[in-house]
Amino acid sequence: MKITSFLLRLKLQKNIGYVKMLRVASQLNVDEVTISTIKNLDLTNSLIKTCINAYNDMRADKMIKRVEKQCQIISFFDSEYPENLRQIYQPPLILFLQGNVQLLQKNIVTIVGSRQATSYSSIVLNKIVPNLIKNDYVIASGLAKGVDVMAHKATLKYHGQTIAVVGNGLNHYYPMINCHVQEQIAQKGLIVSEYLPDTPPKPFRFPQRNRILAGIAESVIVTEAKQKSGSLITANLALQENRNIYAVPGPITSELSQGPNKLIQAGAYPITDFDF
């Protein structure tokens, strides 16, 4: 059995989370997984039993076929998996994808910012994004309200390629107001999730999503963001992974400019013109 198929089966088991899956995956140094492979892993007896159950679970076949009809599936061990993402702390072991998977191999810039972004972010992005597209960058964001969807819409408007990394399964639209944008991206770009397709959105999943947004990028741009926000979490994760951090400065009277201004103060590159 291929490693990706085995990991998907393992993910479908009850009481198996990321830490346990990582413990298993870190020891898989073969192209094909067999029962013998599993029995020789340095794991607890209970985890070996879970792995064997996953391997032999015939009920999983129907569910896997259903998932495969809805999306593409790649694992950490596949050639399609982006190298930048392999390098991060706790990389996702399995990705579920709709759209052009090859976009993960291109130069990616992640754009993030506040859900309450003003027209300032929209104006800036509609100036910056065309230049990024001209320089063959793929634009990634998280398909949230505000800056995220502004970045996706600007990319689609100027006929660029965009990746949306979502904090839920691919069968969900969140927020619902962005459903048409998500459908456009699935057709013209790429939707990425580390969650099974029917997984609903939950608050704790969005910080986990942020590490993927930081991981796939070579650079991260932050527009408007409060001093404490998910956008700064993404920027800090990117900084830890040695990515380039850019921030759009704003008036010191604006609460939404506190985040980017603090990033610049801490060493981020200020965006002072539209030539990227």
Q: What is the pLDDT of residues 131-185, one digit of tens each?
A: 999 999 999 999 999 999 999 999 999 999 999 999 999 999 999 999 999 999 9
- Is 21 domain-assigned? yes
**Average pLDDT of the residues in 105-112:** 98
Q: Domain with 249 in it: what CATH number?
A: 3.40.50.450
> Into how many domains does the chain fold?
2
- Is 208 domain-assigned? yes
What is d(CA 99, CA 97) in angstroms, rounded to the nearest whole number? 7
Residues 61 and 157 in one domain: no
Q: Looking at residue 31, what is its pLDDT?
A: 86
Give the pLDDT confidence of 33-90 residue by residue, as tens digits: 999 999 999 999 999 999 999 999 988 888 899 999 999 999 999 999 999 999 999 9
Q: Looking at residue 58, what is its pLDDT?
A: 86
Residues 139 and 197 in one domain: yes
Residues 122 and 251 in one domain: yes
**Average pLDDT of the residues in 90-94:** 96
* Packed helices 59-70 and 3-11: angle between N→C axes, nearest 10 degrees: 110
Token couple for 34: 């067999």
DSSP reduced 3-state for 133: helix
With beta carbons less than 8 A apart as the criterion, state whether 220 and 110 touch. Answer: yes
Share of the chain above pLDDT 70, in %: 100
Give the pLDDT confidence of 189-213 residue by residue, as tens digits: 999 999 999 999 998 899 899 999 9
* Structural domain that includes position 177: 101-270
Residues 124 and 246 in one domain: yes
CB proximity list for 123: less than 8 A, separation 6 or greater: none
**Average pLDDT of the residues in 227-243:** 90
Q: Looking at residue 59, what is its pLDDT?
A: 86
Give the pLDDT confidence of 17-40 residue by residue, as tens digits: 999 999 999 999 888 999 999 999
For the chain, what is the radius of gyration of the CA atoms?
Answer: 20
Share of the chain above pLDDT 90, in %: 91
- Is 92 domain-assigned? no
Residues 140 and 207 in one domain: yes
What is the DSSP secondary structure assignment for residue 201, as one 8-state letter?
P
Residue 229: pLDDT band by 50, 70, 90 thresholds? Answer: confident
Q: Looking at residue 275, what is its pLDDT?
A: 84
Average pLDDT score, the chain: 95
Q: Is the pLDDT of residue 276 over 80?
A: no
Q: Looking at residue 228, what is its pLDDT?
A: 86
Which position has the token pair 């088991």? 13
CB proximity list for 130: less than 8 A, separation 6 or greater: 154, 158, 160
- Is 29 domain-assigned? yes
Q: Is the pLDDT of residue 274 over 90?
A: no
- Is 88 domain-assigned? no
Domain end (from 50, 70, 90): 70
Q: Looking at residue 61, what is its pLDDT?
A: 87
Residues 115 and 224 in one domain: yes
